[in-house]
Structure 1
Amino acid sequence: MNTEPFDFNEHEDLFAHKLPDISNFPGNITAELQDYDTTSFSFPDDHILEVPSLTLLNAAMKIAQRLNITELIWDMSAVSPFFDHNPSQPSMTDPPSLTSSPASGPSSRISPSYHMAFFDELPPHLQPTPTQRLIPHHPVLDLLPWPSTRDKLIQVFNLPVNLRPQTAQDPMGIVRLVYDMEDSSGEGMKVNGQDPFKPQEWEIGQLLFQRWWWAFESNVVENSNCARRGRGKEMLRIEC
């Protein structure tokens, strides 16, 4: 075996054509690279950056501000101000707290009822239904954009626990509902577009539909499926 050292000087021509010409390199290469990074980088599409739970929270807070219930939705013992607790008209039950107990007694916080003039100023789909006026409920349910869904949830949570659907029998039923709406995978509740006051821009996901299907009418499901088809997602279904 040849053990003589390799003389690079003798083979200079062999490598010369393979080495880059650095005579024209800028003096400050780091600065040039930083400048390249900042000029060539562009943010990805908004849909890629979308965080469904954050979008939902922003939409819910806008509606809460419009309904003047921003502080109440964070109070677990609050009762919706849409509920008319006029002593001359007996309520259907004692006001329940956020834990969905059918009777939470004096610990519940009853908010002052709103006047009819205030209701007339609200978008039609957010105006309180007779169910919202007659049955005490937590104000978080007032944020939902579909009157029929609000009614079904309020009515079901007003039932004795043993008569409710299984998902609504949880002692923290409404809390669980909120968790399901905020599902981090995007299969809870979504808001598409910039206007949360348009009910057609809201949709439900698979997880929310699987657990709370009985609360949503066919038009809500169809609208959600239409939006899902546009994103190439599977249609909503009940999994056994």
Structure 2
Amino acid sequence: MIIKSPFTELANARQTPPSLVSEYDSCVDLIGCTSGQDGAHQAPGSQLAAKPHCMLALPGARNALTNAALAAYERYQMGQPDPRQLIDVLRFNVFYAFAHNAKVLGFNDDWLKYEAISPFGAPQPSPPSQPIAASCPANMKPTVLQMTVEHHPWIDFLPCPRMRDNFLRQVRDKGEDAVDEDGLCVDIVDAASARDPESVCLVTWGKPWVLSEWEVTEPFMKKWAWLLEGCTELMESTNTWRRKRGLHDIHFVH
């Protein structure tokens, strides 16, 4: 699937970014995130509120998102972009990027199942359905924590190894109930969860496995600060993209 759309009209209300078209053909490229309120996500280890259920595993949700993204692209081609479709396209970008990273790591579609366990961190670790390509970038190869802590496969697709380890370290040290994995899934990659521009958390601008092609939004930074601790390269990438749109730098502080 090849969808390209600068969609510069779909900027946030305060600043309109210049056209930024990805060099990677398999992504829809838009940006339009606004600053949100400080997140309601509680610190790891505290009692969590009722968890939102990640709808990623539902084929209907994925199909609906894909159809919405295609509809947005068609309107863009006709010169009639609709700002209401921005969120769907941003979410499609991230979901498609994760699906591509799954293939880079040799995973089949079983990772979409809600109860799936990563072959890297399973109780009896098994190799992915296909071997990891020798050309797999170093940042995408599993870390020691990925190989030793049981987790859902989608964590493996985050392009920042420090971010993956921050999540898994919390699970290892405090237990899986101390981390709202469903909430994180909903915020990052859930194909059915988008509600408003402030719910967009990650933006991918190019090749999904390249860390410098990703950007973190301010709402996500505020809500999941502990997850971004030490993610220097991701912060630098984020600020590179923000500067292209005339936005101030942000700093990951926990």
1:145 to partner: Cα distance: 0.4
Higher relative contact order (CA 8 A, sep 6+): 2
- 1:176-226 CA-to-partner distances (Å, cap 9, x unmatched) read 112222455164001013x21211101111121112122221231122022
Contact 1:144–1:150 (CA under 8 A) maintained in structure 2: yes
1:121 to partner: Cα distance: 4.7
- For 1:147, the aligned partner's letter is P
Q: Does 1:61 align with 2:94?
A: no
What residue number does 2:209 align with?
197
What residue number does 2:188 align with?
181
What residue number does 2:79 align with?
43
Question: Which TM-score applies when normalising by structure 2?
Answer: 0.55
Question: Which TM-score applies when normalising by structure 1?
Answer: 0.58
1:70 to partner: Cα distance: 4.1
Change (3 A) 1:218 1:57: same
Structure 1: gaps (5+ residues): 1-40, 87-110
Pairing 1:1-240 to 2, within 5 Å after superposition: 43=79, 51-83=89-121, 85-86=123-124, 112-114=126-128, 118=132, 120-160=134-174, 169=178, 173-182=180-189, 184-185=196-197, 187-193=200-206, 195-216=207-228, 217-236=231-250
Residue identity (%): 22
Contact 2:143–2:161 (CA under 8 A) maintained in structure 1: yes
- 1:37-59 CA-to-partner distances (Å, cap 9, x unmatched) read xxxx95368x9976211111111
C-alpha distance in 2 between matches for 1:146 and 1:238: 14
C-alpha distance in 1 between matches for 2:130 and 2:92: 32
- For 2:181, the aligned partner's letter is I
Q: Which has the larger radius of gyration?
A: 1
Instruction: Give the aligned CA root-mean-square deviation in angstroms.
Output: 3.5
C-alpha distance in 1 between matches for 2:128 and 2:252: 39
Change (3 A) 1:115 1:179: closer
C-alpha distance in 2 between matches for 1:115 and 1:63: 14
4+ runs deviating over 4 angstroms? 47-50, 114-117
Structure 2: gaps (5+ residues): 1-76
